[in-house]
Chains A and B, each alone.
Chain A
Amino acid sequence: MAAATRKGTATPLGAVFSPEETRRAVARVTEAAAGRRAELARLQGFAADNAALVSLVQRLPDELSHEIMVPFGGAAFFPGRLIHTNELLVLLGEGYYAERSAKQTTEILRRRGMELEAQVEAMKATIADFEAEAKFFESTAAEASEGLVEIREEYDEGTEINSSTLDASSSATGMSDKNRVHAQIMARLDELEMEEKEAGSSSEEDGEEDEEDEEEDAGPSEDDEEEGDVLSDDNDHQNASFGASFSGSGRNDQSHGSAQPKSILKKPVGKEILKGASLAPSARTPHSVFPGQASIINSEIQLPTKKAVSFQDDNKHIIGSSKSSPLPQCPEYSSSLLKVSSDNTSHERKIISSGQKQAFTGSIIEHDANMSTFQPSKSEDLQNPAISPRPVSRFKMQKGGR
């Protein structure tokens, strides 16, 4: 993770979060969690008592009178009888008692039991929070003690275009592996784009042909477009919500309709996309997806996106292309993307959907021509490998796929 060619600062994580302090924080949090756990045990004891009481009260009115041994003083009993078995004086709280029958008493106890349950649940939730915090601190402490170094480098758009520096940049930002892959894919896509631009019309023709094929495969999806609108409303949904929202439109396994692009465009966080991609069931697609998705998403999301503009255009196309090959605007790039995506017709487009809040506000509209063939493919978004089968395939062809 060394910053090779650029200036930057490398700060050992241990300096920012000293391992000692972090461990102390962990201890503090675990203490608090332990306290809460004791409370939880108490509440659960109450709940158990309550349940026992309910069963007892229900048995009382079975007999007119019960024969029992009555406690007398500290250590003596005498035989006696329990009468008026249906009349109970129930404590309501705050020193108030009410005379109630057995049935009414069980009602009261049941209500009290529900309150206790609610409190128990709340306690469990707080404990879970504490545990999560402790785990996080623990991991930070471990990292810090290992000498993890946080490296920051300045972003220089000019040099960024050279994919060779991708690794450095990605590591510089201290991104996770996924992001690095993302960045790498993005770089490759950049190269691809440049190549396509050089290719020019030839790619356009290819792309269009693919698009047409895809459109036929995709099938009608006008309704999906509406879904796409719905998706766009879910801008802030994370991957989890992707699954949810997308599964809704699961009917179109292969629908890569307009909905996708919209959702993709509007979904935030490229990282999420990657995760979504990894979640995607299709085996082969995840890799192929990455290039298309990652690049697109990256372009969308990352601030220093080199080719934000071009990517945006591509995204628009890509989104449309998934099956229906929209390509109106960047035929060159999108066509390649489309080709790639053709391989992954069944891929979810999660990635696209997850990423992009920023870039696409009106882009979807531009794809109207191709949008008709789009299908909401919400489920597909998950995978998003298929932003545009073409591009991915092309990418694969050229780069051997990922």
Chain B
Amino acid sequence: MAASSSSFTPAAVREMQRDLESQANALSKIQKDISKNHQVRKQYTIQVGENELVLKELELVNEEANVYKLIGPVLVKQDLAEAKANVKKRIEYISAELKRMDRALKDLEEKQNSKKESIFKLQQQMQAVQAKA
């Protein structure tokens, strides 16, 4: 905003207020995104933990044992090696997702901070204008 503290006109003030509002909205949106990110991250973390547990057990199972996978209402017999590979791939995928979410979270946080700063500056300007007015 180019509004300087010397603009006393009510129009300029209103414009500043509107600007402030929009920035505040953007900030709240960013915050919501951040919290959603946290949720998803938590979910992913739990899943990756569970998958690692499964992998550990699969390692302990001896070769002849039968492994089944629940697909819908059906228990399908699976090959041990195949099951292990699937679980490993799942773990890798989820870890990659987690990393992506981390990066996104960092970006969001940065944006949030910059938004906060701009809002703050705007507020200061408004106060200056109102003080003079």
Contact = CB atoms under 8 A, between A and B. Distances in A.
Contact of A98 (B56, B61, B90): B61
B93 to A, nearest CB: 12
B68 A98 contact: yes
Contact of A89 (B53, B54, B56, B68): B68
A96 B87 CA distance: 9
Nearest to A95: B70
Interface string A66-103: 00000000000000000000000100111111111000
A92 B58 contact: yes
Contacts of A93: 50-51, 53-54, 57
A92 B70 CA distance: 11
B75 interface: yes
Given A92-B58, A94-B90, A96-B87, A115 B68 contact: no
Given A94-B87, A95-B69, A95-B70, A100 B61 contact: yes
Contacts of B56: 111
B52 to A, nearest CB: 9
A230 interface: no
Residue of A89, A92, A112 with highest tally of chain B CB at under 10 A: A92
A99 B65 contact: yes
A108 B57 contact: yes
Nearest to B83: A96
Contacts of A112: 53
A115 B67 CA distance: 22
Interface residues on A, range: 10 to 19
B63 to A, nearest CB: 12
B69 A98 contact: no
A96 B58 contact: yes
B6 interface: no
Contact of B58 (A98, A107, A111, A115): A98
Contacts of B75: 89, 97
Contacts of B70: 95-97
Interface string B14-45: 00000000000000000000000000000000
Nearest to A101: B65
A22 B50 CA distance: 39
Contacts of B67: 96-99
Contact of B50 (A94, A98, A100, A111): A94
A258 to B, nearest CB: 52
Contact of B66 (A92, A98, A107, A108): A98
A115 B57 CA distance: 13
A116 B15 CA distance: 57
Contacts of A99: 65-68
B71 interface: yes
A98 B75 CA distance: 11
Contacts of A115: 53
Contacts of A98: 57-58, 61, 65-68
A383 to B, nearest CB: 49
Contacts of B87: 94, 96
A96 B54 contact: yes
A95 B71 contact: yes
Contacts of B66: 98-99
Contacts of A92: 53-54, 57-58
Nearest to A89: B68
A99 B78 CA distance: 11
Nearest to B78: A96
A3 to B, nearest CB: 35
B53 to A, nearest CB: 5
Interface in B80-102: 83, 87, 90
A111 B53 CA distance: 9
18 contacts: A93-B50, A93-B54, A93-B57, A94-B50, A94-B51, A94-B87, A95-B70, A95-B71, A96-B58, A96-B78, A96-B83, A97-B68, A97-B75, A98-B57, A98-B68, A99-B68, A107-B60, A108-B57
Given A92-B53, A97-B69, A111-B56, 19 more contacts: A89-B75, A92-B58, A93-B51, A93-B53, A93-B57, A94-B54, A94-B90, A96-B58, A96-B67, A96-B69, A98-B61, A98-B67, A99-B66, A99-B67, A100-B61, A100-B65, A107-B60, A111-B57, A115-B53
Closest 10 CB pairs of A and B: A93-B54, A95-B70, A97-B68, A99-B66, A92-B57, A93-B50, A92-B54, A98-B67, A94-B54, A98-B61
